[in-house]
Structure 1
Amino acid sequence: MNTEVSPAPTPAPVAKNVTAADYAYNDRYINRELSILDFHLRVLEQAVDPLHPLLECLNFLLIFSRNLDEFFEIRVAGVMEQLTLGNESHSPDGLTPKQVLEQISKTAHIAIERQYRILNQEILARLREEDICFLRRGELTPAQTAWVKKYFQEQVAPVLTPISLDPAHPFPRLVNKSLNFIVTLEGKDAFGRQIDLAVVPAPRSLPRVVRLPDELTDGKEHHVMLSAIIHEHVSDLFPGMTATGCYQFRVTRNADLALNEDVDDLAKALKGELSSRRFGRAVRLEVTENCPKQIYGYLLNEFELDEDQLYKVDGPVNLARLLSNFKRPHLKYDAFTPVIPKVLTKSENIFAAMRKQDILLHHPFESFAPVISFLREAARDPQVLAIKQTLYRSGANSEIVQVLAEAARNGKEVTAVIELRARFDEESNIEVANVLQEAGAVVVYGIVGYKTHAKMILVVRRENNKLVRYAHLGTGNYHAGNARIYTDYGLLTTEKELCEDVHRIFQELTGMGKMAKLKKLLHAPFTLHSHLVSCIDDEIAAVKAGKEARIIIKVNALTEVQLINKLYEASQAGVQIDLIIRSICCLRPGLPGLSENIRVRSIVGRFLEHTRVYYFANQGNARIYCSSADWMNRNLFNRVEACFPIEDPALRKRIYQFGLLNYLQDNQQAWLLQGDGAWVRAHPKQGEPLYNAQQTLLESFR
């Protein structure tokens, strides 16, 4: 990798007679919902990218399914709610909720058709070449057919509950995203009733993919879908009747929690809301392509949906659960072992290492183990008096939670600030709170109305009759599993003012009083946004004075209009701006007279890009910040976030080169945003070598 400091790009020529005033307000922004849908499409394209091994391509296809599920559960459901409430107002891009839903439907239908075409024509075909087969009913040998029948009778039928649809049995409440079958019937049941329709829900306890025994497949990996097994034997569930049709379907529901913040006990109120998530308003219906119109019409009527919300699929309706544990290493990414910084391996303990220097961890290339070791050593060190930590996504069985519980049992003063409302982790976080409370830790739920999203650990240790603070600050969650697939930064530090700031934020979170006055940390919802505006203003002033000016921002999303407008202002002044945005970007780059000096790219690859880094040239004395916050309204105004400066020159240089310039050189996994909102895959220029940022980092740390 080129480790030299990169000069700022040459300013783009401004089109004559074009100014920012020539752009209508709505023409300056990209719709938030359509932008995140575009990100999901970039993920889908990874399923046919030759850079990825075959089973990883399959995994990207399934990630796309899970992403799209959440997109409908949260984003589409939210827009539908606006429509229901009669909201006809325009978002900054000029679209009404009705127009947004129409565009989502059009794009999503095309994307899902492409998804199943990739599955059937690309991935399943290539898997067959590797002797990994998903057999259809007509492909089974007599011996396999007999085995499947026995499997159905012994493992499947006993847990199925067929539900006839008649006046005594109204249409059942079906769980969000569950696999179900609607069955057309002929004949009379045991009570002499003429039943035409029945619904058969598939319990989630049943595996969706069943591997046939090796002795029936010559040792090859042959599988049968649960849906095929139920379809083949569905008549057995209705003795004396004949099933004339059997069709898979799945309904996606609104899964956003409508929690009243004015409650006495947040945990208790949240528990009450979690069950409603399974039965929220329907937002999408998926059926198999062969489902007759009268059947899917009946289902649409039951779920109060129209045909724009119907998705016919050429395959299983629940693709997200398709992945099996295939033991084919050559079809997966090469394994790698995250490294541990030498300063940690050469020190007697982590506290001694941190006293020597600030330690920057770049996950997943560097191990998450030092973070766990930091807590474990603190839990067992007799000189440690207190441990404080924020937890956003973790899990009761995680090593971090177990170590915190151990510390509490060892008599340490353990305080955990747990964000119960981390979406889709609410139930897990309630369990974490219970585990820690039972161990004797003090558990608080942050600030009502503001999610606690900051990533902080503070350890207080007695040394030579003085209290010394040690801190960890990060851009990502305290989740060891995520730390192997998400890129994130973590800073282990003893810098006195930073540690004091962390202490003050914890006091702010657990107590009451005025806003904490911090010396070095920036934090939302108080100082972060205004400081970012000030930093951009400084770059504008610098370029107007003929000085060096450059901005590089790497975040997951950019939606906050004030910052977008400030970046437009900087571009017009001549500041060179590079934005590395993983998913949502509402800014339009490259527009003459408005944003011609702004370039936007998205990196989609093996690892989920999650680092948040803000770089401002500051006339040669660069400011570099790492943060838990994206540039979104919710992060800057409705969450508690921490943003920490990187002050060590060596660490600043490392982040600049490896965390920013490295990604600006990528021409394999990068996508470039155009002024019209389209994303175009980056390609090497003529004579330019291939460059893969994530692979470069893997090789550098290896």
Structure 2
Amino acid sequence: MTTQATEESMATNLDHPELYINRELSLIKFNERVLAQAMDERHPLLQRLLFLCIFSSNTDEFFEIRVAELKRQIEFGQAKILADGLSPEQTLEEISDQYHPLVERQYQILNDIILPEMRQEGIRFLRREEWTEEQEAWINDFFNESVMPVMSPIGLDPSHPFPRLVNKTLNFIVELDGKDAFGRETGLAILPAPRSLPRVVRLPDEICKGDGDNLVFLSSIIHAHAGDLFPGMTIDGCYQFRLTRNADLEIDENEEDLANALRSELLSRRYGDAVRLEVANNCPNDLVEELLKRFNLSEDDLYRVDGPVNLARLMQTLSLVKRPDLQYDPLTPGLSKSLKQSGKNNIFDEIKKADRLLHHPFESFTPVINFIMTAAKDPNVIAIKQTLYRTGEDSDIVKALCEAARNGKEVTAVIELRARFDEEDNINLASRLQEAGALVTYGVVGHKTHAKMMLVLRRENQHLKRYAHLGTGNYHSGTAKLYTDYGYLTADDEITYDAHRIFQQLTGMGKIQKTKKLMHAPFTLHKGLIDMINTEADNARAGKPARIIIKCNGLTEPKIIRTLYKASQAGVSIDLIIRSMCSLRPGIPDVSDNIRVRSIIGRFLEHTRVFYFENDGSPKVYGASADWMERNLINRVETCFPIEPSKLKKRVIDELNLYLKDNCQSWELSADGDYLQNQPAEDEDEISAQTSLLDKLALRA
């Protein structure tokens, strides 16, 4: 706890390190909240398994990117000390202290709760000692026909050095006894499991006598048949392990051809510097030490696990097991009558009548697809401009852009090649659009293009009319079913003209384009947000009501945080709904005692970025592509759009207040950096914002 003197110091010095939570440690807390969902019996059983896999996937990315960056800073002597004051070495030490218990807890949940409950439901992961003779025979045939032909066992000797293992692949270290055909006594071998093989294998129903769903881990199959890969040798031990590597790409953005530079760099992602080693917990210490030495890792980088080392691959289970009763009921997103009719009528006429606000996934993404598909066919549409960050493999939007280009329309696509882990898909997407005749650019050197904009220019009555879609999320129909996001369809002359000018800035060169209604990073958004926060502070000092509600994915930008602290000191009531990283500490006397921070974790990934400022009785409401982080506000191209029609503005405010009432899936951040899950009081009804929005906006199938 802080002393009174420290609190007084913090109240006057808003740069005090104790006022800021380390962003990496805050991200760990988010992953911890995701892991807690695997324990929440309000979720269906297979959804709880999915949350366990998501935790594993999030953890992989945390080490691939966050831990790798900290290690890189130390290696090259380029330490970045952020507002919290922790050095990279101190941060890595804290990460180790916090993540080791979390990983141990993850496997306890899997082994002691999830797998036993699945077994009770007739879904079994069979251990080798449980295999019947018939099952063992089938598994033996499967190994000989599908596994052994693609395995490449590697004995370790001077002519067979330790192999260069691919990032996050399943491997085995094998202890051998005896001499091989060449008279060699190697003692050790490495067995890499081919990435093409499924990590979970379903046994045929006919050899299980219709007794539920019976599954086997690939690791169990390889372990059981390891001896077949080393004929004549004795297997003294076979232990699975997995290596995590640095997966961030370093690209010289001054390359003449960014796509080719990125394409050549993608291969290096598989073989970056090692950052973490996961090993089966029964692996002998001498073998563990040998692996750590090989990969230049320390004990802090070692994670002993009681189960499969690649839990994220357990997601395959959901496609292997047809048990809808153990998953959420399917839902059909809602769609207003007027937008339903726009599939038959002209969607441009509908948008011209009134702006449309869509809240995905509770409301359908179909109108967005219909908007671009109609534009591609409409003879009056002369040009389409769009930003693309992540789109999905088989995107209807991309198909429509290609069709529009082939139909002779001027199609401009600003594709962000550096969207992490989607780089290869985006390179292929760029080639596909170029082949169709679209003009493709890759944004601006030094700034990722993260804005979500679609602009259509249509000839109407001898004049050009602009229509736009602006969003908080990507143009990806898959994530539109899983992530909460706002989409805004408008024909507002000033907003659409602003969007046009931003596109011109992205594809051409020139001075900053002034906009009337849109704010955009890296130019006007950061200052615009600070100005609106300061206005609320001024109103509070003048005795006027002052209120701020912010909903986004991350809050780490120090100047924004200091401005919020000052607003709190002025008496502004501030509610922050921050899904993931939050470096602001709420509840500090005389600093942030008017600030409350909550995180919503539920069936859908909360992804909306929406901001409310009371503005002395004339509320301002904005949607945005940007989180309140340095990278978004300073180092990216982002857009922030006003939601002005009173009916839509009221709707957003009502939905924000619904999230603030959530007492089932919300977690409150305390000043010490910990999160406590809210629970309804005895006399309170349960309120889940996501469930309420499903009931209100969506039509359950």
* 1:212 counterpart = 2:232: no
**Cα distance in 1, alignment partners of residues 487 and 196 from structure 2:** 38
* 1:342 counterpart = 2:333: no
2:10 touches 2:16 (CA, 8 Å); kept in 1?
no
**Cα distance in 2, alignment partners of residues 52 and 438 from structure 1:** 46
Comparing 387-396 with 692-701, greater Cα deviation is found at 387-396
Matches within 5 A, 1:595-614: 595-614=592-611
Number of the residue aligned with 1:169: 160
Displacement of 1:701: 1.1
Displacement of 1:346: 3.4
* 1:59 counterpart = 2:59: no
Give secondary structure in 1 for the equivalent of 2:286.
helix
Q: Which amino acid aligns with 2:611?
A: Y
Number of the residue aligned with 2:3: none
**Cα distance in 1, alignment partners of residues 260 and 7 from structure 2:** 62
Number of the residue aligned with 1:265: 257
Deviations 1:220-275 (A, max 9, x none): 20011100000000010111111111000000000001111221111011011110
**Cα distance in 1, alignment partners of residues 381 and 78 from structure 2:** 55
Give secondary structure in 1 for the equivalent of 2:222.
helix
Give secondary structure in 2 for the equivalent of 1:585.
coil
* 1:222 counterpart = 2:214: yes
Number of the residue aligned with 2:291: 299
Matches within 5 A, 1:480-499: 480-499=477-496
Number of the residue aligned with 1:191: 182
Distance verdict in 2 for CA 1:376–1:242, change over 3 Å: same
1:395 touches 1:432 (CA, 8 Å); kept in 2?
no
**Cα distance in 1, alignment partners of residues 149 and 374 from structure 2:** 50
Displacement of 1:21: 2.5
**Cα distance in 2, alignment partners of residues 319 and 102 from structure 1:** 24
* 1:238 counterpart = 2:230: yes
Which of residues 70, 74, 96 in structure 1 aligns to 2:65?
74
1:274 touches 1:427 (CA, 8 Å); kept in 2?
yes
Q: Which amino acid aligns with 1:261?
A: E
Number of the residue aligned with 1:37: 28
* 1:426 counterpart = 2:423: yes
* 1:581 counterpart = 2:578: yes
Q: Which amino acid aligns with 2:22?
A: N
1:87 touches 1:97 (CA, 8 Å); kept in 2?
no
Which of residues 254, 279, 286 in structure 1 aligns to 2:278?
286
Matches within 5 A, 1:531-610: 531-610=528-607
Give secondary structure in 2 for the equivalent of 1:557.
coil
**Cα distance in 2, alignment partners of residues 57 and 99 from structure 1:** 33
2:14 touches 2:565 (CA, 8 Å); kept in 1?
no
**Cα distance in 1, alignment partners of residues 15 and 247 from structure 2:** 36
Displacement of 1:402: 1.1
1:368 touches 1:483 (CA, 8 Å); kept in 2?
yes
Comparing 460-469 with 620-629, greater Cα deviation is found at 460-469
Deviations 1:497-525 (A, max 9, x none): 00000000000000011111111100000
1:395 touches 1:429 (CA, 8 Å); kept in 2?
no
Displacement of 1:668: 0.4
Which of residues 687, 690, 694 in structure 1 aligns to 2:690?
694
Give secondary structure in 2 for the equivalent of 1:379.
helix
Identity value in percent: 61
Q: Which amino acid aligns with 2:69?
A: G
Kindly tell me the number of residue pairs found equivalent between the two proteins: 687
2:521 touches 2:634 (CA, 8 Å); kept in 1?
yes
Displacement of 1:88: 5.2
2:15 touches 2:562 (CA, 8 Å); kept in 1?
no
Distance verdict in 2 for CA 1:622–1:23, change over 3 Å: closer
Number of the residue aligned with 2:322: 327
Displacement of 1:106: 1.1
Displacement of 1:400: 1.0
**Cα distance in 1, alignment partners of residues 279 and 427 from structure 2:** 35
Number of the residue aligned with 1:113: 104
Number of the residue aligned with 1:656: 653
Q: Which amino acid aligns with 2:304?
A: K
The alignment's TM-score, normalised by the length of structure 1, stands at 0.97
Distance verdict in 2 for CA 1:88–1:486, change over 3 Å: closer
Deviations 1:356-400 (A, max 9, x none): 100001000000011110010000111110110000001352111
Q: Which amino acid aligns with 1:332?
A: Q
Distance verdict in 2 for CA 1:22–1:563, change over 3 Å: closer
Give secondary structure in 1 for the equivalent of 2:533.
helix
Comparing 542-551 with 471-480, greater Cα deviation is found at 542-551
* 1:666 counterpart = 2:671: no
**Cα distance in 1, alignment partners of residues 313 and 8 from structure 2:** 55
Give secondary structure in 1 for the equivalent of 2:386.
strand
Q: Which amino acid aligns with 2:270?
A: R
Deviations 1:381-437 (A, max 9, x none): 111101100000013521111111111111111100000000000000001001100
1:418 touches 1:446 (CA, 8 Å); kept in 2?
yes
**Cα distance in 1, alignment partners of residues 336 and 42 from structure 2:** 29
* 1:525 counterpart = 2:516: no
Q: Which amino acid aligns with 1:327?
A: K
Displacement of 1:94: 1.9
Q: Which amino acid aligns with 2:341?
A: K
Deviations 1:100-153 (A, max 9, x none): 001101111000000000000000000000110000111111111111111111
Deviations 1:301-320 (A, max 9, x none): 00000111000000000111
Give secondary structure in 1 for the equivalent of 2:26.
helix
Which of residues 402, 406, 417 in structure 1 aligns to 2:403?
406
2:392 touches 2:478 (CA, 8 Å); kept in 1?
no
1:626 touches 1:645 (CA, 8 Å); kept in 2?
yes
Q: Which amino acid aligns with 2:152?
A: T
2:175 touches 2:189 (CA, 8 Å); kept in 1?
yes
Structure 2 unaligned regions, length at least 5: 1-5
1:18 touches 1:592 (CA, 8 Å); kept in 2?
no
Displacement of 1:470: 0.6
Number of the residue aligned with 1:9: none
Q: Which amino acid aligns with 2:666?
A: A
Displacement of 1:344: 1.2
Give secondary structure in 1 for the equivalent of 2:331.
coil
Deviations 1:452-506 (A, max 9, x none): 0000000011111111111000000000000000000000000000000000000
Displacement of 1:90: 3.3
Distance verdict in 2 for CA 1:684–1:396, change over 3 Å: closer
Q: Which amino acid aligns with 1:179?
A: L
**Cα distance in 2, alignment partners of residues 465 and 524 from structure 1:** 34
Which of residues 22, 26, 35 in structure 1 aligns to 2:17?
26
Distance verdict in 2 for CA 1:23–1:413, change over 3 Å: closer
**Cα distance in 2, alignment partners of residues 392 and 88 from structure 1:** 30
RMSD of equivalent CA atoms: 1.3
Deviations 1:267-296 (A, max 9, x none): 011011110000000000000011000111
1:524 touches 1:640 (CA, 8 Å); kept in 2?
yes
Give secondary structure in 2 for the equivalent of 1:602.
strand
Q: Which amino acid aligns with 1:694?
A: Q
Give the 4+ runs in structure 1 shifted more than 6 A.
Answer: 15-19
Give secondary structure in 1 for the equivalent of 2:580.
strand
Number of the residue aligned with 1:6: none
Displacement of 1:623: 0.4
Number of the residue aligned with 1:152: 143
The alignment's TM-score, normalised by the length of structure 2, stands at 0.97
Distance verdict in 2 for CA 1:37–1:51, change over 3 Å: same
1:396 touches 1:429 (CA, 8 Å); kept in 2?
no
Which of residues 125, 150, 158 in structure 2 aligns to 1:134?
125
Displacement of 1:685: 3.0
